[in-house]
Structure 1
Amino acid sequence: MAKREEQTILLTGVNGQVGFELARSLQGLGKVVALDRNSLDLANLDQVRRVVREVKPGIIVNPAAHTAVDKAESDIEAAMRLNAEAPGVLAEEAKRLGTALVHYSTDYVFDGTKNGFYVEGDPVNPQNVYGKSKLAGEQAIAASGCAYLIFRTSWVYGTRGKNFLLTMLRLGADRDELSVVADQFGAPTWSNTIAALSSNVLAQAPVMSDGDWWQQHSGIYHLTASGATSWHGFAAAIFEFSDLAEKPSVTPIPASAYPTPAARPGNSRMSNDRLAATFGVRAPDWRDALRLCMERR
Structure 2
Amino acid sequence: MELKSFLICLVRSPDVVVNCAALSVPRACEMDPAAAMSVNVPSSLVNWLSSLEETQESNYLLIHLSTDQVYEGVKSFYKEDGEVVPVNVYGKSKVAAEQFISEKCSNFAILRSSIIFGPQTISPVSKSLPIQWVDGVLSKGNTTEFFHDEFRCPVYVKDVVAIILALSKTWISEAKQRKLLLNVGGPDRVSRVQMAETVADIRGHNLSLIKSVSASSVDRGVMSPADISMDITKLVQTLGISPISFRDGVRLTLEL
TM-score range, shorter chain: 0.7 to 0.9
Instruction: Determine if contact 2:118/2:252 at 8 Å carries over to the other structure.
Output: no
Q: How do 1:178-257 residues align onto structure 2 when only pairs under 5 Å count?
A: 178-207=144-173, 211=175, 213=176, 215=177, 217-242=178-203, 249-257=209-217
Extract unaligned runs of 5+ from structure 2: 1-6
Task: Kindly indicate whether structure 1 or structure 2 has the higher relative contact order, using CA contacts under 8 Å at least 6 residues apart.
Answer: 2
Does residue 76 in structure 1 map to residue 33 in structure 2?
yes
User: In 1, distance between residues paired with 2:208 and 2:24?
Assistant: 28
Q: Report the alpha carbon displacement of residue 126 of structure 1 after superposing the two structures with TM.
A: 0.5
Does residue 99 in structure 1 map to residue 54 in structure 2?
no
Does residue 279 in structure 1 map to residue 223 in structure 2?
no
Identity of aligned residues (%): 25
Judging changes above 3 Å, is the alpha-carbon distance between structure 1 residues 159 and 75 closer, same or farther for their aligned structure 2 residues? farther
Instruction: Determine if contact 2:15/2:172 at 8 Å carries over to the other structure.
Output: no
Extract unaligned runs of 5+ from structure 1: 1-32, 34-50
Q: Deviations over 1:49-108 (max 9, x none)?
A: xx9984431110111211111111112222111111xx2332333342431100101010
Does residue 89 in structure 1 map to residue 89 in structure 2?
no
Is the partner of 1:151 in helix, strand or coil? strand
Is the partner of 1:73 in helix, strand or coil? helix
Q: Report the alpha carbon displacement of residue 248 of structure 1 after superposing the two structures with TM.
A: 5.8
Instruction: Determine if contact 1:176/1:248 at 8 Å carries over to the other structure.
Output: no
Q: Report the alpha carbon displacement of residue 174 of structure 1 after superposing the two structures with TM.
A: 2.8
Is the partner of 1:262 in helix, strand or coil? coil
Instruction: Determine if contact 1:90/1:101 at 8 Å carries over to the other structure.
Output: no
Q: Report the alpha carbon displacement of residue 243 of structure 1 after superposing the two structures with TM.
A: 6.2
Is the partner of 2:254 in helix, strand or coil? helix
Is the partner of 1:205 in helix, strand or coil? helix
Q: How do 1:98-117 residues align onto structure 2 when only pairs under 5 Å count?
A: 98-114=59-75, 116-117=76-77
Amino acid at match of 1:81: S
User: In 2, distance between residues paired with 1:53 and 1:75?
Assistant: 35
Q: Deviations over 1:8-31 (max 9, x none)?
A: xxxxxxxxxxxxxxxxxxxxxxxx
Judging changes above 3 Å, is the alpha-carbon distance between structure 1 residues 141 and 52 closer, same or farther for their aligned structure 2 residues? farther
User: In 2, distance between residues paired with 1:279 and 1:103?
Assistant: 16
Instruction: Determine if contact 1:176/1:247 at 8 Å carries over to the other structure.
Output: no
Judging changes above 3 Å, is the alpha-carbon distance between structure 1 residues 102 and 255 closer, same or farther for their aligned structure 2 residues? same
User: In 2, distance between residues paired with 1:54 and 1:189?
Assistant: 31
Q: TM-score, normalised by structure 2?
A: 0.85
User: In 2, distance between residues paired with 1:91 and 1:275?
Assistant: 24
Equivalent residue, structure 1, for 2:14? 57
User: In 1, distance between residues paired with 2:168 and 2:119?
Assistant: 24
The count of aligned residue pairs is: 239
Does residue 137 in structure 1 map to residue 97 in structure 2?
yes
Instruction: Determine if contact 1:156/1:190 at 8 Å carries over to the other structure.
Output: yes
Is the partner of 1:204 in helix, strand or coil? helix
Q: TM-score, normalised by structure 1?
A: 0.74
Judging changes above 3 Å, is the alpha-carbon distance between structure 1 residues 169 and 52 closer, same or farther for their aligned structure 2 residues? farther
Instruction: Determine if contact 2:155/2:243 at 8 Å carries over to the other structure.
Output: no
Q: Please, what is the CA RMSD of the aligned residues?
A: 2.4
User: In 1, distance between residues paired with 2:9 and 2:61?
Assistant: 12
